[in-house]
Amino acid sequence: MRLLFVGDVVGRSGRAIVVERLPRLVADWKLDFVVVNGENAAGGFGITEPIYQDLIDAGADAITLGNHAWDQREALVFIERAPRLIRPANYPPGTPGRGTSVITAKNGARVLIVNVMGRVFMDPLDDPFATIDRELHACPLGSGADAAVIDMHAEATSEKQGMGFFADGRATLVVGTHTHVPTADHRILPGGTAFVSDVGMTGDYDSIIGMAKEEPLGRFVRRIPSGKFEPAMGPATLCAIAVETDDSTGLATRVAAVRCGGRLEEARPQFWE
């Protein structure tokens, strides 16, 4: 099975490169399943229903969220009719939407998607480790699902790495999101789970984590806000992680970084070229 996880889509520039490049990647690489983190897709803050549909139409099979899930208030309503939109599972009981879902891939496989938020330097939500343990027991890899993808939306690298080892051997992929900078530590852990601390953002890298530089830089220097954050609008880089699995176990056999377009050096999985 061939999986692709696309990192945090930031603003119009990020959306544009997904719409432009993802359909071709799906076709050229014969991708079975694509996950996109879309929590920054609407002007850098949250997601709207039309944007959700645009990402689905471009080839996303599931869209995960994070700490900006509800920045666009309409998300609280439309998430109930958006079965492929997954918010963090460790939000309190009664939160709209779903934190986990089993979605059928293009090849007919069952893919478990779980989205959780870390708690280090972030909102004090329910324990993400207990949440993941519960979900993996409820839908085990190999019997309940043919593949399992965990989006660990967290600030601290240590917490993301901890989740990788915690789920090793029980998930296909544990991918870190939120910090918007691609790390070079993608690998297959000893138990067979593919892992990367941060897949990186899909947006304009002539920016400060996707935002036009002037306002955040001014706040660093003067400590006084002078306006609101706005997404950078230059050419975007699509950042993703590519995973190939063993169909008999659901565990990863190969993993590679993907970077297309924009300002970062290109990277592609040689095993699919």
At 162, the pLDDT band (50, 70, 90 cuts) reads very high
Per-residue pLDDT reduced to its tens digit, 224-258: 888 899 999 999 999 999 999 999 999 999 999 99
> Domains in the chain: how many in total?
1
| Burial class, 218, CB count within 10 angstroms (exposed 0-12 / middle 13-18 / buried 19+) | middle
Comparing CA positions, the residue from 103, 244, 122, 227 lying closest to residue 186 is: 244
Mean pLDDT, residues 122-129 taken together:
94
- We report the CATH number of the domain holding residue 230 as 3.60.21.10
Query: Is there a catalytic annotation at residue 186?
Result: no
Q: Has residue 13 got a pLDDT over 90?
A: yes
pLDDT for res 18: 98
**CA angle, 5 as apex, 236 and 147 as ends, to 5°?**
175
Q: What pLDDT score does 36 carry?
A: 98
Task: State what percent of residues in the chain have pLDDT above 70.
Answer: 100
Q: What is the mean pLDDT of residues 30-37?
A: 98
Domain around 182: 2-272
Q: What is the mean pLDDT of the chain?
A: 97
pLDDT at position 107, please? Answer: 96
> What pLDDT sits at residue 43?
93
pLDDT digits (tens, 9 = 90+) for 193-228: 999 999 999 999 999 999 999 999 999 999 988 889
How much of the chain exceeds pLDDT 90, in percent? 97
- Identify the pLDDT of residue 206: 96
Task: Catalytic residue, from 68, 153, 178, 186: name it.
Answer: 68
Look up the pTM and report it.
0.97
Mean pLDDT of the region 74-100: 96
Query: What pLDDT is stored for residue 27 in this prediction?
Result: 97
Determine the average pLDDT of the residues in 65-72: 95
Pairing of strands 147-153, 173-177: parallel
User: In this model, does residue 273 exceed pLDDT 90?
Assistant: no
